[in-house]
Amino acid sequence: MPATMRDRFTSRPHAAARFVAQRGLLKPVVWRVTSVTVLGRERLENVEGVYVVVANHTSHLDTPLIMGALPRRLARYLAVGAAADYFFDVWRRRGLTALFFNAFPVDRTGKNARRVSAKALLNRGVPLLIFPEGTRSRDGSLGTFKPGAAALASSAEVPVLPVAVIGAHAAHPRGSKWPKPGRLPVGVVFGEPLTAFPGESVSEFTERIRTAIVTLTEENSDRILGAIAASPHVVIPEGDRP
């Protein structure tokens, strides 16, 4: 692996460039086109070192919302798993994804060898953001979680930070080119860090993470979306505000 490929995940100059891209460019745009609520940041106060952020995935808004909502100290070197066949197939998209999200390619086909592995990044002290559904939901509902994120965290003995992203599917559904007008409400809710129990299987840990995200969504949807019912099939009329 070329040195430049290894270094961009942890180098201070790259982190500084990402700070400008994420906090100076991307976050102001996302926060301007949506109405963002962030809950649970106090649960992250004691998080240090390496960790795996695990979240539901319904929209292209998910990653910038999570990275913008995280405390800067936790987002600085965070690397995002991104589909190799979509984000790394065109050089412009590959470059922008690396700049804004410190992204590493995830092969969804299982046919291509990975140049950068999630396990290797964790071993080097790089925290990860993983969407265990593997792709964006088509209707906003929560799909089945693949076991990779839980397996990584368990084997590396690092905590999982469960995150629920609420309202992003309605604001910017799959297939749309830009968020809907009207600054629709979206939210990011951080849960208590989770670690694998002694003897807990990967499938059990995976289900416990998924359950935590379901609970975060159910307990906070009304607060974030106001009077709008928390349903994956609800369509929020353009311009409506809670």
Cβ atoms of 165 and 58 closer than 8 Å? yes
Which residues contact residue 193 at a Cβ distance below 8 angstroms, ignoring those fewer than 6 apart? 43, 44, 47, 51, 159, 160, 161
pLDDT band at 104 (very low <50, low <70, confident <90, very high): confident
Q: ∠ CA 145-190-125 to the nearest 5 degrees?
A: 75
Cα–Cα distance between 98 and 51 in angstroms, integer? 20
**Listed range (23-27, 33-37, 228-232) with the worst mean pLDDT:** 228-232
pLDDT tens-place string over residues 85-96? 554 555 555 556
pLDDT tens-place string over residues 125-145? 999 999 999 889 999 999 999
Q: Is the pLDDT of residue 1 over 50?
A: no
In DSSP terms, which residues pair with 39 in a beta bridge? Answer: 189
Cα–Cα distance between 135 and 107 in angstroms, integer? 12
Q: Reduced to 3 states, what is the DSSP secondary structure of residue 140?
A: coil
Q: Is the pLDDT of residue 237 over 50?
A: no
Which residues contact residue 30 at a Cβ distance below 8 angstroms, ignoring those fewer than 6 apart? 36, 61, 64, 65, 68
Residue 10 has a pLDDT of 83
Task: Supply the mean pLDDT for the chain.
Answer: 84
Is the pLDDT higher at 98 or at 212?
212
How much is the average pLDDT of 223-240?
A: 50
End-to-end Cα distance, the chain? 50
The one-letter code for the residue type at 218 is E
Q: Is the pLDDT of residue 170 over 90?
A: yes
Residue 98 has a pLDDT of 67
- Structural domains present in the chain: 35-225 (3.40.1130.10)
Cα–Cα distance between 216 and 69 in angstroms, integer? 16
Is the pLDDT higher at 25 or at 108?
25
Chain centroid to Cα 198, Å, comes to 27
